[in-house]
Amino acid sequence: MPLVVLPSSVWRLPAAFGDDRGLGERTYVVFLSVLSEAFAFTAIGLIARWGEVFPRWIPFLRGRRVPRRAAVLPATIGAASLTLLFTLLFIVPEVRGTTIRGGDLPADHPSQAGGWEAAWFYVCYAPLTLWGPLLGVLTVAYWKRRSAVERTPAAA
């Protein structure tokens, strides 16, 4: 999942250091890229051991099983939100050639640049449209795997 988000994060970073950006805007763009990667990394918990049993370094919870719903509920909300945000709200306006609100795309929109600049924009942002659906697939797989384990009787 972090690799799906990485190209868009990298694409945004040069914009943070453009001459026409203030300190607040630069900080926001860098923070957005780092935060996106951090959220994408949490999806690894759906396939790693620390998503099933709390790690030893977490006080009061170490060694206990992660409640299935505590992982599945936020992942489901995240998958639905990311699918809406990046898949639907990115693809539909791009196909229609309008903004999300239906207005004309501004002249400085990356897809309006043409040539290699527009191609680079699409190469970097196209993987981001998969973030929500892939998180949904991981969430369903996690739920099924954890349900099967909890239904299986313990060995005597």
Q: Report the pLDDT value the prediction gives residue 104, as an integer from 0 to 100.
A: 84
Q: Report the pLDDT value the prediction gives residue 105, as an integer from 0 to 100.
A: 80
Q: Report the pLDDT value the prediction gives residue 94, as an integer from 0 to 100.
A: 79
| Cβ(116)–Cβ(124) below 8 Å | no
Q: Report the pLDDT value the prediction gives residue 15, as an integer from 0 to 100.
A: 78
Distances (CA, A) of 138 to 36, 47, 58: 18, 8, 24
| Cβ(57)–Cβ(21) below 8 Å | no
* Rounded Cα–Cα distance for residues 25 and 115 (Å): 27
* Rounded Cα–Cα distance for residues 42 and 36 (Å): 10
Confidence of residue 30 (pLDDT cuts 50, 70, 90): very high
**Residue 154 scores a pLDDT above 70:** no
| Tokens at 155, concatenated | 């060995």
Coil, strand, or helix at residue 104?
strand
Selected residue with higher pLDDT from 91 and 128: 128
Burial group, residue 20, by CB count within 10 angstroms (0-12, 13-18, 19+): exposed
Q: Please provide the size of the chain in residues.
A: 156
Confidence of residue 36 (pLDDT cuts 50, 70, 90): very high
Among 135, 115, 136, 117, which residue's Cα sits nearest to residue 125? 117
The tens digit of pLDDT for each residue in 90-102 reads 888 778 888 777 7
* Rounded Cα–Cα distance for residues 42 and 45 (Å): 6
Confidence of residue 155 (pLDDT cuts 50, 70, 90): low
